[in-house]
Amino acid sequence: MTEHTGRQSKGALTRGRIVMEARRSLIESGYDDLSLRGVADRLGIALGNLQYYFPTRDELVLEVIRAEASADLETMRATVGLDASPRSHLERLVYETVSTWRGESGVLYMTLSFLALHRDAFRTEYRRVYKTFYEPIERAIERAEPGHPKSEYRQRARLLTALMDGAAMQVQVGPHDRYLRSIVDAALAIVAPGITPAR
């Protein structure tokens, strides 16, 4: 390993540690309590070192959200790529996504939604994140019900995403698995009404 490569590896490791600590803080304490100095202190690094990677709090929060969305997107794509029937693909995609969004990912996306109301950078990121989510969702719907125009799949993907977003934020929903199953059934009725029912 060359000295330059070693510095790059160390830099990537430091950057990753900063993002993970900021993620933990956002989930546990929220946006208002997140500060660069607090993150730096908890990691035992100088504030100036942290600011080399992330000069502002908003840049750090955006990176946390990008990393989370990237991980969730890979999970979606892997789910869609499973060797199963079209119906099973779509069911699993809805089930796993709502499950994930009801957890820590959901806290970060709600933070993104809130900040997107008033800040251009977060609004732009919000649109980018959800646009990337639409692609595997559209493919899953098309596989379940082929033969429709692309515009139809785009619309259905947005409807399904809105349903999953809303479902993830609900409280007092009763048994977890039963609730998720009801969301899956509702989703299929909306976005793939012609699909063969499960027996």
Start-end of CATH 1.10.357.10 domains in the chain: 57-191
- For residues 9-14, give the mean pLDDT: 88
The dihedral sign for the CA sequence 171, 174, 179, 180: positive
pLDDT of residue 87: 85
Tell me which of 49 and 173 has the higher pLDDT: 49
* For the chain, percent of residues with pLDDT exceeding 70: 90
- Name the pLDDT band for 199 (thresholds 50, 70, 90): very low
Structure confidence by residue, pLDDT tens digits, 151-169: 999 999 999 999 999 888 8
| pLDDT greater than 80 at residue 81 | no
Rounded distance between C-alpha atoms, residue 84 and residue 80, angstroms? 9
Which segment of 18-22, 86-90, 114-118 scores lowest on mean pLDDT?
Answer: 86-90
Rounded distance between C-alpha atoms, residue 140 and residue 14, angstroms? 37
Rounded distance between C-alpha atoms, residue 164 and residue 97, angstroms? 7
Superfamily holding 1-55: Homeodomain-like (1.10.10.60)
Tell me which of 188 and 20 has the higher pLDDT: 20
Domain 57-191 has CATH 1.10.357.10: yes
- For residues 13-18, give the mean pLDDT: 96
pLDDT of residue 173: 72
Start-end of CATH 1.10.10.60 domains in the chain: 1-55
Q: Please, are residues 49 and 14 in contact by the beta-carbon 8 Å criterion?
A: yes
pLDDT of residue 190: 87
